[in-house]
Amino acid sequence: MAEPKACCVGEDGKARAPLMEDVGDGTTAIVLPECVTSANVLPLLKKLEAEAKARRLNRESRVLVDLGRMKTFDSTVLSALLEIARHAGKPLAVHNPPQKLVSLAQLYGVADFLLDDHPELRKLREALAAEEEAMRRRKAALLARA
């Protein structure tokens, strides 16, 4: 447990904060820190909420969340993303989710909401569709023999 905690704090001993910046065309990008775990998720959400208020973000604002820096995380990152989406009032544009997060989102049944157009999720959907088609063909072949 010492390794994730070390990842969650900066050199000053304070929790690493998410970065929120304007990226043009009215879109605000939220870049989550390297570490999002149960140890730091609540302070992280409070900082995001304060920053969103300071920037006057509302339901009409476009928000994307970049997870490219995230290296250490647990399932609480899903609750953080759901909370960000709740504040935004709409699904998020999530960029660069780690494969493990895609798998967790799929397991918890929130992948379609959080990662709607992510390539890894598309691959999973295509694989499931292909598997279902193969099973349908096998069943049809077995019924044809009977």
pLDDT at 7 > cutoff 50: no
**What does the pLDDT look like over 92-102, one tens digit per residue?**
788 888 989 98
Q: How far apart are CA 86 and CA 132, in angstroms?
A: 33
On whether the CB atoms of residues 27 and 64 are closer than 8 A, the answer is: yes
Spans of all domains in the chain: 2-117
pLDDT at 18 over 70: no
CATH class of 2-117: alpha beta
Residues 6+ apart with CB under 8 A from 58: 89
- Nearest to 4, CA basis, from 54, 62, 77: 77
Report the pLDDT averaged over residues 20-34: 82
**Per-residue confidence (pLDDT) for residue 3, from 0 to 100:** 37
What integer pLDDT is reported at residue 11 of this predicted model?
52
61 sits in which H/E element: none
Q: What local confidence, expressed as pLDDT, does residue 78 receive?
A: 92
- Asked whether the predicted pLDDT for residue 6 surpasses 70, the reply is no
| Residue 75 predicted with pLDDT over 80 | yes
Alpha-carbon distance values, 101 to 2, 19, 46, 124 (Å): 21, 20, 22, 13
Q: Is the pLDDT of residue 140 over 90?
A: yes
